[in-house]
Structure 1
Amino acid sequence: MQFKDYYDVLGVEPSAGEAEIKTAYRRLARKYHPDVSKEADAEERFKAINEAYEALRDPAKRKAYDQLRTHGYRPGDEVRPPPGGFGQGAPQGDFDFDEIFAGGGNGGGFSDFFEELFGRRRGGARGPQPRGPAPGQVRRVRLAVPLEAVYRGDKVRIGVNGRTLEVRVPKGIRPGQAIRLAGQGAQGGDLLLEIEYAAHPQFEVDGRNIIHLLPVAPWEAALGATVSVPTLGGPVELKIPADSEAGRKLRLRGRGLPGTPAGDQIVELEVLAPQAGNQAQRDAYARLRDSFGNEWRRA
C-alpha cells in the first residue's frame, strides 16, 4: 500500500485553509472532469483529485492524515499499518470512522490507502475490534452518496462486511435521513445507512438548491451569450444577460434536488480572462486596453 500526498495532488501547502483547499479542488476537478477534459489521464487524475479532497475537507480525516504525514512518508513509499491498524494512537473522539462510500459516481473508487486509513473503525481490520452490536441490534454507518444518485433515485453498490450490496437511494433523500437494510448488519441485526452527500466537483448544496459556479469570458458577461450549463439532469442552455457582473446569480427553476417543492439550481457567474495563446489574441487584448483605458476601474 503506497502513501499518497493529498496536498500535492491538490497543489496546496499543508498549511492551506479550508477555502483554499476547496478552491483548488474545484479548479482541478473542472479541468480534469472526464466529460470535458482532453487529457489522456483525465479520469485517473479526476479520481485522485476527488480522493484528496474527500480526505482533506473533513477536519477529523485531515487531522488523522496529517498525523500519518509526520512519519516522513513520500508519495510512492510503502506504508505498513501499525499493530492494531492506523486508528491506534489517534486522538480519541476524532478518528473513529464507521462509514461506507457508494461505488461509482463521485463517491467511490477510492484507493486502498484511503480505505485502509479511513474506511474502518478504530482498531483496523487486522487489529482488535471494538465491541460490536449485540445479536439483533442495529448497526448504524454513514453512507456518502453521489448527488446524481440522489437526483435520479439510482441504485448504488456498497461493500459491507466483505459483501457487495446494491441499495436504491430514494429520490431527494436528505443528509441525516437513513435507509434501513433488514438483516444486513452484524450478527443478523439491521444495517442503518445514514445519508451524507459526497463532494462534487461542479455543485454545492444549499437545502434542496444546487449551486454551480459558471466561468464566463468577459465578452460573454458584457455582451450576453447563451452557454451550456451542467445540471444533475444533464446540460441545459442558459441565457446570460448583457452587462452581467461577476457574482451575478441566475436561477434554473426545478433543476435542484427533488422534493415538494423541488429545489432550483443557482448559477453564479465567475468572469475569467482566458490566457492569450497567440499573437492575434494578445493583439485583441491590446485593443481592449486601448478602448477602455483605466476609466473602467472607477465605473
Structure 2
Amino acid sequence: MEANHQKKELQVSVKELELAGAPGKAMWVRWDSNGAGDGLSAYDVNLVLENGRVLQLAQGLPAGVHEWMTAAAASGKARVQVVGVHADNSEVARGLGPWMELPEGEVSAAQRHMPDAQAVWAVGAPSVSSINPGTLSAGTTVVTLRGMNLPLSFGYTLTNVYGQPLLGTGTGFPSGSSTSVSVPFYVASNVPPGQYLLRVSNQSGSTSVPVYIVTAPRPPNINYLDPSLIYPDNSGPTRQLIVGGDNLPTSVSGYSVSSPQIGLSLVVPNPSSAILSLSNLTSVPSGRYTLTAFNPAGSASRYLDIIRFF
C-alpha cells in the first residue's frame, strides 16, 4: 500500500476472545473512519509487535467487524494497525488498537470459527521466477519478485553464499500477492559489495536467488511520526514514538530532537519503521519540536507537537 505524507486517524477497537493463555483463539477488529473523511477504501490490517516487527493480517477489507486468528502470527504483546487509503488522492488514514497479549499454540481452533476466505491454509514452498532490480545499493531499495507461494510476511532474508544472514541488512513489510511481491530491502553503507543470496521462506520451505550489492549511501526520509501529538500530562514523562520512512538510522546517534531537555533513545532500530523513546517530556513547555534523522548522505526532519495542560 502506497504511503503518503497526509495522515488522518482511524478509531480502532479490538475485542479479545480469551487471547491470553488460550491457544488458537481469534479476535474481532472494528474501525471507525468517520473522523478520517469519506471515500476511504482498501483497508489493510496489520499486527505491530512489541519489538517493532509488522505482520500483515489482511488486505483490501471493507470497514466493519472482522475475525482473524492470532496464534498463526506471533506470541507476546501486539497492537492491531488498520491503514486505509482514499481512492481518489491516496490520502492515508491510520489507527492503532490497544496493546494485547497474543496466545501461543496451534491455530486449528481459530480456523474452525472462520470462513474459508479468511482462514490461513498451508501452501507449497516458494519459487522465484524473476527479481527486479537484481542489484541493491546502500539504503533502501524496493525489489519486486515474481513467482509462486511468495510470503506476505517477513520471509525474506539477504544472506552470504553459505546461507548465513548478512549483517547490516534488513527488510521492510512486503506487499502484493502470492505471485508478485514488492519488498523494501535495507543495506548499510559498510556492507562489502559483491554477490549475495536472497532467501525466500514460508512454512513449507525456502528458495534462494542471487542478488548483487553495491554501496552508495542514500539520505533518510521520514514519512510519518506516530503519535505526532503528545500530551505528557496524560501519558507521563516518557513516550514511545514510531518513526516511519526509508534509510532510517539504526543507532541513536543518527537522531536528534530540537530540545536538549528531551531525552532520546532508540528502542527498536529499523530502517523503515524505528521506535524511539522520548523522556523528560513533563519538563518541556508546549510547542512544536523537530525530530531529525541523518546519515552521511543527508538528513530528514519531521515536526511533533507537545501539548501541556499545566
TM band (smaller chain): 0.3 to 0.5
Higher helix share: 1
Larger Rg: 1
